[in-house]
Amino acid sequence: MRILFMGYGDLGATVLRGIQPHHEVLRVLTHRTEFSGLGEPHVEQLAAELGLAVSYSAHAGEPELHQQIRDLEPELIVSTNWRTRVPAELLAIPRLGAINVHDALLPAYSGFGAVNWAIRNGEDATGVTVHFMDEELDTGPILTRAVVKIGPHDTAGYVLSKVVAEYVPSTLRALQLVEQGHRGEPQDSQGASFYHRIGVDDTRIDWNDSTTTIYNLVRGQSDPFVNAWTMHDGQRLWVKAAAPPSRCYGGTGGRIVKAGDGGVVIATGRPEHGDNRGIVLLQVALDGGPPVRAVDYFVKFGGYLR
């Protein structure tokens, strides 16, 4: 098929590389590398490597861009990790419409940070959905889905790698279906959810939360994502890795209790939660500093994380 590809970052480049040998990519539409401070040049670099024409836009709303795309006469748009809402005028140009690759099992977890939110919420599965695009984000008819299991101790970085491994196979299956005339299955509104982008303010640890909530936050915000964090002695302390304790350590949430279980135990939660066992910090880092073992960072116990 004759395709206009829209995408950004490593995820976009992954799908572009996967579909280019099988379909005619007429043009690549991407954001500037510095878009929103993300600094991800993967798509434009790959397009140059493959000898594909590139256009840049923040919101894909320019009338002159739309005319250029009409002149190309694409049959389909393929979108992966495009970071803004796509105008309806652009979606209407290809005769077969537009499809998007999303990192969740729609209709749940539409929007942003799907892998992170799924782990933070204690889900045991996520996946990939390829769907037709409409004016709302991630709401169009579904073509293909692939399930990825989430283990109780899996980190976001690990789960993301499993999800990304499904991007190209899922997209190629969806493209076959589109060629065969399939128009997808409408999404069920029951179970639908939308999540916002995750910023630094969204990853601060509340030590009054339960052990499970804090543990899921830490593993759900593992590298390469913005990590969970707390304040210690007036400095931001990033939590790179943690684990549930082997026994219960009670006390006031945020109290630095003792060394134990290969790390440093922090008290968590309130008794009424029924899950205030504490948590073991294994690896931490100060702003701009390298990751270090928690047992090497904390030189004394007592005091509190805030």
Domain shared by 120 and 269, yes or no: no
Q: Alpha carbon of 127 to those of 2, 104, 150, 279, 294: distances in Å?
A: 27, 5, 9, 28, 33
Assigned domain for 286 exists = yes
Parent domain of 260: 200-297
Average pLDDT, the chain: 96
- The C-alpha atoms of residue 232 and residue 240 are separated, in whole angstroms, by 15
Domain shared by 132 and 220, yes or no: no
Assigned domain for 303 exists = no
- The C-alpha atoms of residue 278 and residue 258 are separated, in whole angstroms, by 11
Domain count, the chain: 2
- The C-alpha atoms of residue 273 and residue 255 are separated, in whole angstroms, by 17
C-beta separation of 188 from 107 below 8 A = yes
* Predicted confidence (pLDDT) per residue in 197-252, tens digit: 999 999 999 999 999 999 999 999 999 999 999 999 999 999 999 999 999 999 99
Instruction: Tell the burial category of 190 from Cβ atoms under 10 Å away from its Cβ (0-12, 13-18, 19+).
Output: exposed
* Predicted confidence (pLDDT) per residue in 89-131, tens digit: 999 999 999 999 999 999 999 999 999 999 999 999 999 999 9
Domain shared by 163 and 293, yes or no: no
CATH number at residue 280: 3.10.25.10
Domain shared by 37 and 164, yes or no: yes
Domain shared by 155 and 142, yes or no: yes
CATH number at residue 118: 3.40.50.170
Assigned domain for 306 exists = no
Residue 35: the pLDDT is: 87
Domain shared by 139 and 271, yes or no: no
Residue 37: the pLDDT is: 82
| 183, two tokens | 């128009």
Reported pTM: 0.94
* Predicted confidence (pLDDT) per residue in 147-196, tens digit: 999 999 999 999 999 999 999 999 999 999 999 999 999 999 899 999 99
